[in-house]
Amino acid sequence: MSMRVRAIAFSSSANLGAGYDVLSMSHRAFNDVVYAELLDSGEGKIFIETDSSVPTDPSKNSASVPVEAIMEDYKIKGIIKLKIVKGIPPGLGLGSSGASAVAAVAAVSRLLDLNLSLEDIVKYAVLGEKAVSGSPHPDNVAASAFGGVVAVTSHDPFRIVRVAVNYDFKIMLIIPRLATGVGKTKRARELVPPKVELNKVVENARYLSSLMVGLIKGDRNLIQEGMNDSIVEKAREPLYPYYPKIREISLKYNSVGVCVSGAGPSVLVLYDEETELEKIKLGATDVCRGFGFDCDFVTTEIGGGVKVEGLD
Ligand SMILES: Nc1ncnc2c1ncn2[C@@H]1O[C@H](COP(=O)(O)OP(=O)(O)OP(=O)(O)O)[C@@H](O)[C@H]1O
Ligand SMILES: N[C@@H](CCO)C(=O)O
């Protein structure tokens, strides 16, 4: 049994258009690292060390809430120290809270020799998402745990499948320089209507089908048509009024696909050699400046799943 373990989990973009709480994509843009070790003395059950802005109160951090549940379920005595090295900026739609949760659960699983499956890791990590957003949405944590593009096909019990991607695209994240404050995703989820018209559901089913078939068959047009959403992105537009114009520009300059990254405010653009990426960047910069802020561009590629190393 290692006395100290390190786990690394990548950032992710959830929803991918019409896949609200179902689809997500891991990417190598950013990553969180969580170190876990057993302490033989101290107060409470969990001690958090971090040099980032995330809470050190174990009841408020997406990394520690799942670990507390593990300690209860497995009747773990003693204190677990979690050192959280935040590489994924919080509150920007990049799956920051989810990655911390996955890395912490994976590290503790190795530390205590629990041998949790990836589905088990998701089952615990969603408790961290629930703590910070009010809802146990499994998409970001599924992507950070499994890697690649994932679909959460069942919620109870969790079943996650990796979606075969047979089109060679790259990823660009458009990241607004915006301070979204505490609980951005919680606020974004409150904007999602509890009921929608059937025609909107059918429209989103078309998008989702197009996207899934496009990814699996490697059909560029189907991917582009499928990355769209007539329900959630629309309902949340007040949070990112710049998005429709950025979407229009991305499609005008032939992106493979574009959508809001998770609950935003970042935007995910898929591109290839046919995409006029520089024109998208120039156009997006102008749009963001028109709304009073600058944005950053991060180009990356699809990421892997959580990685764990026993340190000693
Ligand atoms: N370990 C953590 N990492 C990141 N955020 C955390 C963590 N623990 C608690 N939080 C809080 O959660 C909120 C950020 O999570 P939120 O779900 O709103 O956005 P996100 O996870 O960065 O992006 P996404 O839209 O992809 O979920 C912030 O208020 C932050 O303080
Ligand atoms: N499906 C979640 C993802 C958050 O990143 C939401 O859109 O609220």
Ligand 1 centre from 5 Cα, in Å? 23
Q: Is 98 labelled a binding residue?
A: yes
Q: What tens digit of pLDDT does each residue of 72-124 get?
A: 999 998 899 999 999 999 999 999 999 999 999 999 999 999 999 999 999 99
d(CA 12, CA 34): 17
Q: Is 94 labelled a binding residue?
A: yes
Check residue 20 and give its pLDDT.
98
Ligand 2 centre from 210 Cα, in Å? 21
Degrees (nearest 5) of the Cα angle 181, 183, 188?
105
d(CA 226, CA 211): 4
Torsion of CA 52, 53, 59, 60, to 10 degrees: -130
Q: Which domains does the chain have, with CATH numbers?
A: 4-163 (3.30.230.10), 170-300 (3.30.70.890)
Q: Is 104 labelled a binding residue?
A: no
Identity of the amino acid at 74: Y
d(CA 291, CA 279): 19
pLDDT grade, residue 3 (50/70/90)? confident
Torsion of CA 257, 132, 55, 81, to 10 degrees: -100
- What residue owns the CA closest to ligand 1's atom 24? 93
d(CA 120, CA 123): 5
Ligand 2 centre from 273 Cα, in Å? 29
Q: Cis bond leading into 194, ω under 30°?
A: no
Residue 176 C-alpha from the chain's centroid: 16
Ligand 2 centre from 305 Cα, in Å? 19
Q: Is 90 labelled a binding residue?
A: yes
- Give pTM, 2 decimals: 0.97
- What residue owns the CA closest to ligand 1's atom 13? 183
Identity of the amino acid at 103: A
20 CA: nearest ligand 2 atom: 1
Catalytic residues, which ones? Answer: 129, 185
- What residue owns the CA closest to ligand 2's atom 6? 263
Q: What tens digit of pLDDT does each residue of 200-224 get?
A: 999 999 999 999 999 999 999 999 9
pLDDT grade, residue 43 (50/70/90)? low
> Among 16, 129, 133, which is best to mutate for testing ligand 2, by the most ligand atoms less than 8 A from CB?
133
| Tokens (6 digits) for 280 | 């998208």
Q: What tens digit of pLDDT does each residue of 241-257 get?
A: 999 999 999 999 999 99
Query: Please, which residues bridge with residue 12 across strands?
Result: 26
What ipTM was estimated for this complex?
Answer: 0.97
Query: Please, which residues bridge with residue 38 across strands?
Result: 80
d(CA 215, CA 259): 15
